[in-house]
Amino acid sequence: MTQAASPARTVILTVDDDPGVSRAVARDLRRRYGEGHRIVRAESGEAALEALRELKLRGDQVAVILADYRMPQMNGIEFLEQALDVYPGARRVLLTAYADTNAAIDAINVIDLDHYLLKPWDPPEEKLYPVVDDLLDAWRVSDYRPVGACKVVGHRWSARSSGVREFLARNQVPYRWYSSDTPEGQRLLSAAGQDGERLPLVVTPDGTPLVEPRDPEIAAHVGLATTPTSEFYDLVVIGGGPAGLGAAVYGASEGLRTVLVERSATGGQAGQSSRIENYLGFPDGVSGGQLTDRARRQAAKFGAEILTAREVTGLEVTGASRTIRFSDGSAISAHAVILATGVSYRQLEAPGLAELTGCGVFYGSALTEAAACQGHDVYIVGGANSAGQAAMYLARGAKSVTVLVRGSSLSASMSHYLIEQIGEAPNISVRTGTVVESAHGDGHLEQLTLRDVESGHTELVDAQWMFVFIGAAPLTDWLGETVLRDDRGFILAGPDMTPDGQPPRGWELDRPPYHLETNVPGVFVAGDARAESAKRVASAVGEGAMAVMLVHRYLEQS
């Protein structure tokens, strides 16, 4: 039975490294389902994942994915596992030879495989179509119905336009981008009664125009939770990076009424990483976005509330209650608090950079800008893992990537595996002993002045894109004098507060602070905001889990 056409056709995607087989599968699918569905085919797992990410960004829906098992570099099971992160509701089919049936059966448990088909699938009327018909029917009655995409109209070289796109992308909100000088951009501006002077314009899926919106306003209109459902919780987790998400998962799964509060988007700095390759359990690596999305869904599954675009401005102690104040004047309270606020990239101090931030100069990976870097010369400032991961990611499409390092080598702060990868990349070069002296451009970055640290010699280079990773500063100023911090702003906890064995300031209990407990009983710290932390994703997740264990111990003795 031919599927009825629909206004927004869903996608059936097929991937096979054999071009002949790939065309044959797509041909059979198009013959049966082409009227009501878009048939997208790819010839490698990487190409298919790239297609899925583009479809996700445009707000398109993928109903069924068919993948060949025996593909080089990335086999069908590995591909479907990653595809699950992009489209968790898509039905998954593995195409296998008879010899691979055991692998297919194992995949039913590993990736929740919906079906496997033996090659050849001829005749499709008997072996292929009935399977796909059933999967499409199951997809239609599932919870993954099409979700409309936001439309964003802005200027290419606008810091706020870039910020809105980054906010939507990191929160997994589908959107479509239109430059304000394009016909479609002009049409949307006219429909919203705007002349283009006030940008960006965000048009929500229900057609509501938001002019120069701030993140909380966007969040409230696109379905992100911004308002707590209760005034009192067992546990408030502040910060949605790996430590905060780890704490939310373990807190909620162990029965604590848990709310996680994030000022921008879950994932923190790790969530912006293009590829994390040294995290336990992911031998082929995982993007920060994929890891974040899994953790967020996991926390929600256990019942944790996740509030987005809420800025915390104060922590107050009233008896056994710990109260969190928000920037809008509202507040929530809890028995215990875990501070997992993480860090932000330090600003590079050089003439011209402040004016060009968001207009060619970016702090962090800014993955939404990667597509625009295609064919351009890109500069990266920094020598730690985050800089190396960004270099490898941007090198896929950039004409060249130049890593600028103040020190004499990368080995002091970058993992060995990344140094090796950078050394093997033909379009990545590393300039050691080099700093950015100044930045130049009219409205957007056009040139950089580089200085050799040893000789003092300067050089003017053309540059439209620069990404900065030069260390991090803790996001803890809002704590004021309530919680003890070191001279750099990192939060002190446990034995780090009491090197002389004396109780910390204001401590009134007859026990010493627990390992991750601050000078305020019942207030704990986890992750990068903690003084002397390891600054690694795995250790942050571990500290989040450990902090929940200590919260239980605190609650039992309170």
| pLDDT per residue of the chain (558 residues) written in tens, 0 to 9 | 333 334 457 899 999 999 999 999 999 999 999 999 999 999 999 999 999 988 877 778 899 999 998 888 888 888 988 888 788 889 999 888 766 666 666 666 556 788 888 878 888 998 899 999 989 988 887 755 545 679 999 998 899 999 999 999 888 888 889 999 998 899 899 989 999 899 999 999 888 999 999 999 999 999 899 999 999 999 999 999 999 999 999 999 999 999 999 999 999 888 888 778 888 887 877 888 888 988 999 999 999 999 999 999 999 998 899 999 999 999 999 999 999 999 988 899 999 999 999 999 999 866 778 888 989 999 999 999 999 999 999 998 899 999 999 999 999 889 999 999 999 999 999 999 999 999 999 999 999 999 999 999 999 999 999 999 998 899 999 999 999 999 999 999 998 997 777 888 889 899 999 999 999 999 999 999 999 998 889 999 999 999 999 999 999 987
429, 455, 470 - which closes a domain: 470
- The structure tokens listed for 77 are 């099971």
In this structure, the answer to whether residues 85 and 65 fall within a common structural domain is yes
In this structure, the answer to whether residues 175 and 162 fall within a common structural domain is yes
- At 101 the pLDDT is 64
With respect to residue 112, please indicate whether it lies within any of the assigned structural domains.
yes
**How many whole angstroms separate alpha carbon 463 and alpha carbon 376?**
8
In this structure, the answer to whether residues 31 and 65 fall within a common structural domain is yes
- At 112 the pLDDT is 72
With respect to residue 226, please indicate whether it lies within any of the assigned structural domains.
no
107, 140, 173 - which closes a domain: 140
HSE, CB side, 13 Å, CA atoms: give it for residue 552: 13
With respect to residue 145, please indicate whether it lies within any of the assigned structural domains.
no
Inter-residue contact 43 to 22 (CB < 8 Å)? yes
- Convert 435-458 to b/e letters by CB count within 10 Å (16 or more is b): bbbebebeebbeebbbbeeeeeee
- At 359 the pLDDT is 93
Inter-residue contact 61 to 37 (CB < 8 Å)? no
HSE, CB side, 13 Å, CA atoms: give it for residue 348: 27
With respect to residue 3, please indicate whether it lies within any of the assigned structural domains.
no
In this structure, the answer to whether residues 110 and 198 fall within a common structural domain is no
Question: Whole-angstrom distance between the N-terminal and C-terminal Cα of the chain?
Answer: 66
Inter-residue contact 201 to 154 (CB < 8 Å)? yes
Q: Which domain, by its residues, includes 262? A: 232-344+473-557
72, 105, 140 - which closes a domain: 140
- At 98 the pLDDT is 65
Inter-residue contact 410 to 425 (CB < 8 Å)? no
Looking up residue 208, the CATH number of its domain turns out to be 3.40.30.10
With respect to residue 2, please indicate whether it lies within any of the assigned structural domains.
no
With respect to residue 106, please indicate whether it lies within any of the assigned structural domains.
yes
With respect to residue 400, please indicate whether it lies within any of the assigned structural domains.
yes
Alpha-carbon separation of residue 423 from 119, 175, 417, 419 (angstroms)? 41, 36, 10, 6
In this structure, the answer to whether residues 415 and 479 fall within a common structural domain is no
In this structure, the answer to whether residues 207 and 159 fall within a common structural domain is yes
In this structure, the answer to whether residues 305 and 250 fall within a common structural domain is yes
Maximum Cα–Cα distance across the chain: 80
In this structure, the answer to whether residues 340 and 477 fall within a common structural domain is yes
Domain count, the chain: 4
Inter-residue contact 242 to 537 (CB < 8 Å)? yes
- The structure tokens listed for 102 are 């055991």
**How many whole angstroms separate alpha carbon 111 and alpha carbon 87?**
13
Residues 6+ apart with CB under 8 A from 171: 219, 222, 224, 265, 266, 308
Candidates 257, 237, 241, 246; CA nearest to 303 is 257
With respect to residue 5, please indicate whether it lies within any of the assigned structural domains.
no
In this structure, the answer to whether residues 135 and 163 fall within a common structural domain is no
In this structure, the answer to whether residues 112 and 165 fall within a common structural domain is no
In this structure, the answer to whether residues 15 and 127 fall within a common structural domain is yes
- At 271 the pLDDT is 82
**Chain centroid to CA 186:** 31
Looking up residue 426, the CATH number of its domain turns out to be 3.50.50.60
In this structure, the answer to whether residues 312 and 298 fall within a common structural domain is yes
Residue identified by tokens 């990976």 is 365
pTM score of the predicted model: 0.75
